[in-house]
Amino acid sequence: MAELVAEIAAASNEQAHGIDQVNTATTEMDKVTQQNAANAEESASASEEMSSQAEEMKAMVRNLVAMVSGSSNDGKIESTRADEASKTEIHQSRASAVPAESADSGAGVYPAKTVSPEQAVPMDDADFKDF
């Protein structure tokens, strides 16, 4: 009888040790899961910030292109591809509307709208803090 009780006690100890290991593994997995969730949230936040900065950069580039090409959007920033394609078609049709004999002299060329650099690329001292 004592032998059976000893075997049961040994088996119970082994089970307790196994349960301890499972608990430890579960705790570690929980920590890793929480860290992954925090990293995913941080990545999503960084992605949103980068997307916002990319949109600002696209607007600045559009303004610079407008300033260089002489086009004007009167301060409005269009962001659709259809609008951009339409602008390209208009610009190309303007270029083809210039008479061949006056193309060299500049006569008949549509005048460029004057846009200040501050309007084309609006930046302040805070934008340069990392430099």
Instruction: Determine phi and psi for 3, rounding to 5 degrees.
Output: -65, -45
Residue 121 is encoded by which pair of tokens?
């690329």
The pTM of the full predicted model, rounded to 2 decimals, is 0.43
Burial of 25 (0-12, 13-18, 19+ CB in 10 A): exposed
Q: Would you state the pLDDT for residue 70?
A: 78
The structure tokens 């032998």 sit at 3
Q: What is the pLDDT of residue 106?
A: 47
Q: In the predicted model, what is the mean pLDDT of residues 30-59? A: 96
Residue 103 has pLDDT above 90, yes or no: no
* Per-residue pLDDT at 107: 45
**Residue 114 near residue 62, CB atoms below 8 Å:** no
DSSP at 101: H
CA distance 38 to 46: 12
Per-residue pLDDT, 111: 52
